[in-house]
């Protein structure tokens, strides 16, 4: 079934056509009719599945119909998200799909001046897409009235819990009218999420996308066994082998992000970093430079990158394996989005083997191994443009030792 055949406003169909969305993705096909009917939805789907449009399309349609004159420009839909990047990104999807409608959409995040936000709120907003902190500030200052909200969306709920937003979620319910539609989305589901979900949704339609294989079919992923100290040489090689590709590199900590950044700089590779220490304007700048392709490599930590929709990431590199197995799915879900194909590789050192095992058991199958011939391995670490270092010295020492034992054996 194509979007053309859907019973939704022609103004929405027009923007879908402009965005190149012809057919619904799996989650859109399953969620849109239920949301249009007014049902609560519990959706288990990772990003990259088209989850955002799955709720944005029907919400925009419903609100166009409900925008009676006296309700115009009052917050009728609230979308809550755990991070600023996500809120900005989801607001953009609503704006793109709602472009030809008269609905006003506002992405509301902290870390930026609140005066312009207040100005927009005072003029009136139909759909508010927000992170909890700034939203509650402005609710308490009287700039946001949530008493007319009839659709609440909680997106990336598992991450909301991880980041400690449980109280905010409960608090927001106190501001909403008793009767409203709730759409609850999470990439993963465990007992904690289930408890939360079932305490706020009512008789929901449950939609689960590819529960057995959480990795998108569009992503080819593999693991390469590489010693910790050699990872940077392999990253250097990979980036140089794919000069025109957008590469997203995941590391475990912000310190490591900066180290990898410095290592790449030493070999003449321009990269960007994204982690918790960056302020909002830095983050926007980084996102923009990566999105526009000004810089092709972004080094990021999990929290900073979760859920971000960066168009056209060709390659995801797990420079460090993620401590939490499900983050593997989130990370490699940054590529192969929508209908595109993507590739991912994980650099696994011997110390990380237990994590690799945990990831494989989480995704329910082994990850194919990218075999690196010994000569290839040595070539990669010797042909670096990095200045010789301890590692190089170690290798030389090892080669010398081998040589010496070989000579000794010959003498005998």
Which residue, 16 or 146, is less far from ligand AMP as judged by CB? 16
Q: Are 359 and 325 in contact (CB under 8 A)?
A: yes
Smallest gap from residue 94 Cβ to ligand AMP (A): 11
Reduce the DSSP state of residue 97 to 3 states and report it: helix
Site for ligand AMP contains 83 (CB under 6 A):
no
Tell me the two tokens of residue 44. Answer: 């288990």
Site for ligand AMP contains 98 (CB under 6 A):
no
**Which x/- pattern over 275-314 shows residues binding ligand AMP (rule: CB under 6 A)?**
----------------------------------x-x---
d(CA 206, CA 27): 11
Chain centroid offset of residue 343 CA: 16
Smallest gap from residue 6 Cβ to ligand AMP (A): 11
Neighbour tally for 326: CB within 10 Å: 18
DSSP class of 279: -
Smallest gap from residue 389 Cβ to ligand AMP (A): 40
Q: Are 385 and 395 in contact (CB under 8 A)?
A: no
Site for ligand AMP contains 347 (CB under 6 A):
no
Which residue, 81 or 193, is less far from ligand AMP as judged by CB? 81
- Binding range to ligand AMP, per CB under 6 A, among 36-44, 48-56, 63-71, 115-123: 48-56
Which residue, 121 or 332, is less far from ligand AMP as judged by CB? 332
Which residue, 49 or 101, is less far from ligand AMP as judged by CB? 49
**Which x/- pattern over 49-68 shows residues binding ligand AMP (rule: CB under 6 A)?**
xxxxx---------------
- Binding range to ligand AMP, per CB under 6 A, among 20-28, 69-77, 252-260, 347-355: 20-28
d(CA 37, CA 44): 19
DSSP class of 232: H
Site for ligand AMP contains 13 (CB under 6 A):
no
Smallest gap from residue 276 Cβ to ligand AMP (A): 22
Nearest to 350 by CA among 227, 173, 174: 227
Which residue, 12 or 264, is less far from ligand AMP as judged by CB? 12
Smallest gap from residue 50 Cβ to ligand AMP (A): 3
Chain centroid offset of residue 280 CA: 17
Which residue, 40 or 155, is less far from ligand AMP as judged by CB? 155
Nearest to 242 by CA among 179, 299, 296, 196: 296
- Binding range to ligand AMP, per CB under 6 A, among 42-50, 178-186, 263-271, 293-301: 42-50
Reduce the DSSP state of residue 400 to 3 states and report it: helix
Smallest gap from residue 299 Cβ to ligand AMP (A): 21
N residues, the chain = 412
Query: Which of 9, 47, 117, 182 is in the footprint of ligand AMP by CB under 6 A?
Result: 47
Edge-first strand listing for the sheet containing 151-154: 105-108, 127-130, 77-80, 151-154, 181-186, 41-44, 205-208
**256 contacts: CB under 8 Å, gap ≥ 6:** 319, 320
Sort residue 111 into left (φ over 0), alpha (ψ -120 to 50) or beta. left
Query: Which of 337, 345, 347, 352 is in the footprint of ligand AMP by CB under 6 A?
Result: 337
Site for ligand AMP contains 48 (CB under 6 A):
yes
Helices and strands in the chain, H and E counts: 17, 14
Query: Which of 74, 133, 338, 358 is in the footprint of ligand AMP by CB under 6 A?
Result: 338
Which residue, 307 or 322, is less far from ligand AMP as judged by CB? 307
Nearest to 149 by CA among 66, 92, 51, 44: 66
Residue 342 bridge partners (DSSP): 219
- Closest residue by beta carbon to ligand AMP: 338
Residue with structure tokens 């430079």? 289
Smallest gap from residue 1 Cβ to ligand AMP (A): 11
Which residue, 24 or 58, is less far from ligand AMP as judged by CB? 24
User: Which residues contact ligand AMP by CB under 6 A?
Assistant: 21, 24-25, 28, 47-53, 309, 311, 337-339
């Amino acid at each position: 079934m194509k979007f053309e055949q859907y019973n939704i406003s022609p103004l929405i169909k027009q923007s879908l056509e402009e965005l190149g969305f012809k057919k619904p993705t799996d989650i859109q096909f399953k969620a849109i009719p239920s949301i249009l009917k007014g049902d609560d939805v519990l959706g288990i789907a990772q990003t990259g599945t088209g989850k955002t449009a799955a709720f944005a399309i029907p919400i925009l349609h419903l609100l166009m119909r409900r925008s009676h004159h006296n309700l115009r420009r009052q917050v009728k839909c609230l979308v809550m998200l755990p991070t600023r990047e996500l809120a900005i990104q989801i607001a953009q999807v609503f704006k793109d799909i709602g472009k030809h409608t008269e609905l006003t959409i506002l992405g509301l995040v902290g870390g930026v001046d609140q005066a312009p936000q207040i100005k927009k709120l005072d003029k009136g907003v139909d759909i508010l897409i927000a992170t909890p902190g700034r939203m509650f500030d402005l609710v308490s200052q009287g700039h946001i009235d949530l008493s007319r909200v009839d659709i609440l969306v909680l997106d990336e709920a598992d991450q909301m819990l991880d980041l400690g937003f449980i109280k905010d979620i409960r608090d927001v319910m106190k501001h909403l009218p008793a009767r409203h539609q709730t759409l609850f989305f999470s990439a993963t589901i465990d007992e904690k999420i289930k408890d939360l979900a079932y305490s706020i949704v009512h008789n929901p339609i449950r939609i689960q996308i590819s529960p057995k294989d959480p990795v998108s079919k569009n992503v080819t992923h593999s693991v390469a066994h590489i010693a910790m100290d050699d990872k940077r040489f392999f990253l250097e090689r990979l980036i140089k082998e794919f000069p025109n590709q957008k590469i997203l590199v995941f590391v475990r900590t912000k310190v490591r992000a900066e180290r990898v950044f410095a290592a790449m700089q030493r070999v003449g590779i321009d990269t960007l970093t994204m982690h918790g220490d960056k302020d909002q304007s830095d983050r926007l700048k980084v996102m923009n430079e990566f999105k526009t392709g000004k810089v092709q490599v972004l080094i990021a930590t999990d929290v900073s990158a979760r859920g971000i929709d960066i168009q056209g990431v060709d390659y995801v590199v797990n420079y460090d394996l993620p401590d939490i197995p499900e983050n593997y799915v989130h990370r490699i879900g940054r590529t192969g989005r929508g209908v595109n194909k993507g590739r991912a590789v994980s650099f696994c050192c011997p110390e990380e083997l237990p994590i690799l095992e945990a990831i494989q058991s989480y995704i329910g199958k082994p990850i194919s191994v990218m075999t690196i011939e010994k000569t290839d391995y040595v070539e990669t670490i010797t042909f670096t443009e990095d200045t010789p270092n301890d590692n190089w010295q170690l290798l030389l020492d090892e080669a010398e030792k081998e040589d010496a034992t070989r000579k000794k054996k010959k003498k005998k």
